[in-house]
Chain A
């Protein structure tokens, strides 16, 4: 396997754009990445497109708008981890020596409100909603570890503060702890401001071989770890706070990259709901089990903290257009490692990590988990 580098990244501001076609959102992200890489788009040999609801051959439709045709194009569906999975496929195509330059693009236009379950999903028929799925984890975490509603809400306060420094975020206004706690209750103990919004968006990344990366003159951002896994079967006695899926996926990625959680300088994780981020602190290894609430309270995950998490605003405030999310995480980490993150820049990071979860399936922990580790050489 060869070393693989991220040569260019691009994304549009996330938000609601009812009057704009998905193809146009995708075009802007793709050409943003092409411009950032400083390449002729004709050099792209393969493209993987992550999306969940954009219909057939969505990738080809967006690429056509960007003036790119006649190359290998694969559409990738892995729910919220679709973008990360397309990045993984692009990584493999370059690492395996098949291509020297690959595009990973994620894009989505999402309707408002709750995401509907799959029609045969028995839990969905019984009234399960995604905020409730996470809320049940929060209730158990509070019961076992004394995590407080205020600690949960602090994740949202941090997220909104970071997003106020990110011109590409869907929400760019800071909120107070009282505003978060006082917003409408969606599923106890999660209030509205603790749930990610739905919205539209697109993001793209160009991956390449070492030779191409060195010729570009851009900073060398290496993909040091790349792992995608599906969830294991779960049954009675499953510890819903432990997430073997995130633990095993990140462990494999740490081993592949020859780093540990203590080496991570900046992280973008799947904070679809505030409790999610607290659990990911624990399961990615940033703190011991049960201490996620204390980690946010101590300020460790602020941009100025010891392990900054979601400096972009994360899913909670930057927005969560399903297929675009995983690539948008990569965009943020690459900009952070290059020192291009402006007002939300983490101090001289060298190692960055992205983590995405996707797909609720009764009987499995989740559909997919993706972890990527990036190193500035």
Chain B
């Protein structure tokens, strides 16, 4: 076999893009969407310990699809970045935009400088004091960053999932309604539609009313209740939205403590990636 002496920059970039895109699309789906009470994350994830969703800071959350060790590496970097900024300035000085920007720069540098790009897609979300302040940033393997107005779908069959959620999406969805819409879309995607239950889901919220740390995992009974709650597009969504946010808060608080013990991530062991030298 002969080795080519020259490959055009265009060819190299195209190959890398294709490689990353193909591998991200092989993963399981993740949906992040805004609802009046904050931001909801729903991921298909059979593992209780290897998380796709995570807390970055008080008002900032993280969701990822793709290769675990690579996005876990970015998540840890994001936590360090946010904690450093919050410690040396003030807690209010940490913004989702800054975290997303740091990720974008890092992903962009890796994409151009290294043989292999990160096979990940990331969503950084920030919950504001009012719904108008909520932000969703979608980041891709090459460092491009897009702010999405309503929702982000990532991973395998992302386009299908996104359009399915969009069919029922409206601005005043209750938490239960939003969760069920996301779960329906995740279940329907793929060649073999299936029913996703609580055991195969990872669900979390950035709850506007929860201070100072808005990030909250919905697990166990709280999640089951949310999935079973009757809701439909005809439901009086406006009145419900606040109620649901409140309910989830209480349910969550009750289960939170016992649950934190189960949430162990093997983060550091499995997120290892030998430090790369300069290319």
A and B: bona fide binding partners:
no
Binding site for B on A (CB under 8 A): none
Interface residues in chain B, defined as those with a beta carbon under 8 Å from any beta carbon in chain A: none
